[in-house]
Structure 1
């Protein structure tokens, strides 16, 4: 039988102290997220019923979650989901955890295409969990969104998220291949939106262990940033319709280079956009 030491508030305090000793930066928040998910309640409700005791099974499961987090496993992988835009996405170690910066990319696209009646063909390139394309499709019912990724296991998560979040009979194309390689040669798009791998491999040592030790390196790191992104820009040109646009999330260190390279390759326009932290993290190209 649980005693008063096993209630919500005491376990949160102990977990926070333990995670802090392990140098977890967001110890209290993570302790709350992991417990709220385990108890299947909203995080704010932890403090409404803070004297609630946990059963022995709940306490053991919570302890296991805290131990996993102490080893820097991301909370999103522990609970198997991550909130993004206005949906909750399934995630596992096959896919990158959706970031707030990528929400800004989705918002930018929607701001520039406010007409919900437009019928556009859209590609989520390097789709991972599918968070970009699914968020766009949910906001714009008339858009025909396709997805492509080099990882089969990532596409399985992508497909699961389509089924759970969009809940529609509408068919979505998922292509498995390197960049555009598996997309039919005649297929073109009005918009291509992508958060491709863009961290130079030389920067691996500077990346936090939450990311470097758990998230898929295929979706994060690139050995030759300029060569890889020149390929994206070159191949995207052939897959865009007249007046089509390519939106990229990128490394702020290379955004200026990307803009100039896109213009040199024949794009008619290239625009940089800063994220909320003031970094030039996004580039938009137009045919």
Structure 2
């Protein structure tokens, strides 16, 4: 990776080979993303200028990035951003990296609330980077979005993403606290959408190193899934308007339990939805 004649295509090939030897599953894609971001060009343009030589400083910076990735540090954390829905979100180790499955959750909500003139109150609970709520606010300009997260550092990223992506005069409150604890009791929502922690701690050993070693455990793991989610369902009832909806991304093996628990707690309707992989990753609960 240090030959003076190294071009874009040569560096991509060398980096891909190096990452594959380190058992990085998406070696070519990561090599491309890291280089395109470094050069500040769209990824597709790498193959337009594939014979372009890199300067010594560019090669040094790229090598540092590839070495970081070889240690399983996620590409999104290395470049500090991640594409989600139709925006690019700032991310760091304080927030989960937005995932395609969560895009499906956002798409489901928008599909069910297609009236762009509607004025709804919505909450992104356990908001992290804010990718769910910001994507909803961008698609539905008349919705009023609020955000809540336990992590102050996550809410800082959330706030920056609101400024960068929405560039709006709308007031979008950020509440720091455990679930609903910092949200005023008088606040009522038509929709609460959430990707809360849902991975049992017993599954930590089976997770990819990228996730287990780098992403925030506070946003990933629960010691007692049923106790934690029972709290969410119970507390959400106090913040939902009549006929309001709670949408959750969840662990597929718990989707049936969530529906049963919701009905037991007095919700009038509980349905699940499969993700593109055929897993029951989402539930919609109606008060």
Shorter-chain TM-score bucket reads over 0.9
Q: How many residues align?
A: 286
Correspondence for 1:155: 155
1:221 aligns with 2:218: no
1:105 aligns with 2:79: no
1:81 aligns with 2:53: no
Say if 2:4 and 2:56, in contact at 8 Å, map to a contact too.
no
Please give the TM-score of this superposition, normalised by the length of structure 1. Answer: 0.99
Correspondence for 2:35: 35
Q: CA deviation at 1:6?
A: 1.2
What SS does structure 2 have at the residue aligned with 1:145?
strand
What SS does structure 2 have at the residue aligned with 1:38?
helix
Alpha-carbon displacement from aligned partner over 1:32-77 (angstroms, at most 9, x marks no partner): 1100110011111111111100000000000000000000000000
Q: What is the alpha-carbon distance in structure 2 between the residues aligned to residue 286 and residue 46 of structure 1?
A: 48
Correspondence for 1:167: 167
Alpha-carbon displacement from aligned partner over 1:200-234 (angstroms, at most 9, x marks no partner): 00000000000000000000000000000000000
Q: What is the alpha-carbon distance in structure 2 between the residues aligned to residue 47 and residue 120 of structure 1?
A: 45
Correspondence for 2:139: 139
* 1:1-287 equivalent positions in 2, closer than 5 A: 5-287=5-287
* Unmatched 5+ stretches in structure 1: none
Alpha-carbon displacement from aligned partner over 1:71-123 (angstroms, at most 9, x marks no partner): 00000000000000000000000000000000000000000000011110000
Q: What is the alpha-carbon distance in structure 1 between the residues aligned to residue 13 and residue 104 of structure 2?
A: 34
Q: What is the alpha-carbon distance in structure 1 between the residues aligned to residue 269 and residue 39 of structure 2?
A: 51
Runs of 4+ in 1 over 3 A off after TM superposition: 2-5
Q: What is the alpha-carbon distance in structure 1 between the residues aligned to residue 140 and residue 237 of structure 2?
A: 24
What SS does structure 1 have at the residue aligned with 2:228?
helix
Q: What is the alpha-carbon distance in structure 2 between the residues aligned to residue 66 and residue 258 of structure 1?
A: 41
Q: What is the alpha-carbon distance in structure 2 between the residues aligned to residue 4 and residue 176 of structure 1?
A: 51
Q: What is the alpha-carbon distance in structure 2 between the residues aligned to residue 29 and residue 115 of structure 1?
A: 37
Q: CA deviation at 1:5?
A: 3.6
Q: CA deviation at 1:3?
A: 5.9
Q: CA deviation at 1:162?
A: 0.2
Q: CA deviation at 1:4?
A: 6.1
